[in-house]
Amino acid sequence: MRIGLEKHSDIKKVLKGKKVSIVCNISSVDKELKHVVDVLMKLGIKVRSIMGPQHGFIIDKQDNMKESDHIQYSSEYGLPIYSLYGESREPKDHMLDDVDTVVYDLQDVGARYYTFIYTMAYVMKACARLKKQFVVLDRPNPINGVDIEGGTVQKGFESFVGMFPISNRHGMTVGELALMFNEEFGIECDLKIVKMDGWNRKKYWDEYAPREKRSWVLPSPNMPSFDAALVYTGQCLLEATNISEGRGTTKPFEIFGATFIKHKDFLSNSAIKSLKGVKFRPLFFEPTFNKFMGDICTGFQVHVTDRKTFNSLKTSLAIIYALKNLYPNDFFFTLPPYEYEYEKMPIDILLGSSKPRELLEQECFFKAFYAAVDKGSDVFSKTRRKYLIYK
């Protein structure tokens, strides 16, 4: 397999003579761990600037809405580094003054809420407005490009964790998403995609990476491993609750818990017992930052035992359902702001609707709660087929 960054002849054809800005972070590397800036410069491409997404170019900002400086300077490259996660998520006109083409090279993790794909959309909009070319160096979806989980964002609930009506787990690459954003959702920029060779969309990261000697390089501070990406589609929802999603531990998103949980109560809950392909291992942990910092939490590690039957979104919805019913006086959904949304509830923008939360607050059955989250998945499944590059 060759990812977009490794298709040197294609890159030179597309970028020859162009002045380029690169949307990337320090994890934007090839198989040999060479950074995209180094690779493009060695190919003779005129790199003028760098634009960094959430968590900063150097991935130093741990949490949500922790902003990088508007502009930083890299002593290594001697290039200006603009932040695309701050007062504006779309590039200012002056950032692209000396640029013909913007190159996007960031690793996605396959979930609707991962903000890198909306950074891509905002940059595409700027390129359309300013008549600049936009080039995606495509990368694999690490949790495969087949499976879809969850419904779509409903009108009125668009946000920086759900700009367009796509499923919670979308099963697409960033190149395929760029095509969809451009054509289905009307951005209409001058888009070019440097496609991958040899990627099998049915494969998970750990099914091809070891054979090819590809290292997992964390794309954001709390995505330290493929295992974290495997459960992230569901476990990200815990960010919208007072339950620790494992930030401040060595296993973010794989670990969850709180000071008020009882192991036996949780494991005996009917919603938890109905789940397939997963086991919850009881443990205790003390977060070093974020929720419950310095307190001993009772919780669990999520162990995926069968990927064919495991559904990350359904698993985490069952966790929320169980904890809300077991501990109604302790569990709660957090209030805004969250990812630059200052009015709507964080759980509502993550799920793309207020209906699931409202049902849960009315003490519905788990089946009804999950069905409310799944609304629109069939429509998205049909729509995405038009934009799949890899068969």
Q: Which domains does the chain have, with CATH numbers?
A: 4-222+380-387 (3.40.50.12170), 226-376 (3.90.1150.140)
Is 68's pLDDT higher than 70?
no
Q: Tell me: the pLDDT tens digits for 18-44?
A: 999 999 999 999 999 999 999 999 999
Confidence grade of residue 74 (pLDDT, cut at 50, 70, 90): low
Residue whose C-alpha is closest to residue 279's, from 313, 306, 252: 306
More confident residue, 86 or 303: 303
pLDDT the model gives residue 66: 72
Beta strands in 53-100 (DSSP E): 71-73, 80-83
Dihedral over alpha carbons 154, 157, 163, 168 (to 10 degrees)? -60
Mean pLDDT, rounded, for 228-236: 98
Q: Tell me: the pLDDT tens digits for 337-377?
A: 999 999 999 999 999 999 999 999 999 999 999 999 998 89
- Read off the DSSP letter of residue 310: -
Contact 248, 288 (CB under 8 A): yes
Q: What φ, ψ does residue 149 adopt, rounded to 5°?
A: -135, 130
Measure the CA–CA gap between 165 and 146, rounded to whole angstroms.
18
Measure the CA–CA gap between 384 and 391, rounded to whole angstroms.
13
pLDDT the model gives residue 73: 55
The fraction of the chain above a pLDDT of 70, given in percent, is 98
Give 3-state DSSP helix, strand, coil % of the chain, rounded to 5: 30, 15, 50
Q: Tell me: the pLDDT tens digits for 248-260?
A: 999 999 999 999 9
Q: Is the peptide bond before 346 cis (omega within 30 degrees of 0)?
A: no
Vertex 84 angle, CA 168 and 116, to 5°? 25
pLDDT the model gives residue 64: 72
Tokens of 384: 């995405």
Using CA atoms, how far residue 202 sits from 55, 67, 147, in Å, is 30, 36, 8
pLDDT the model gives residue 71: 57
Confidence grade of residue 193 (pLDDT, cut at 50, 70, 90): very high
Instruction: Name, in order, each residue with C-beta under 8 angstroms of 214's C-beta and a sequence gap of 6 or more.
Output: 31, 208
- Read off the DSSP letter of residue 214: P
pLDDT the model gives residue 78: 84
pLDDT the model gives residue 69: 61
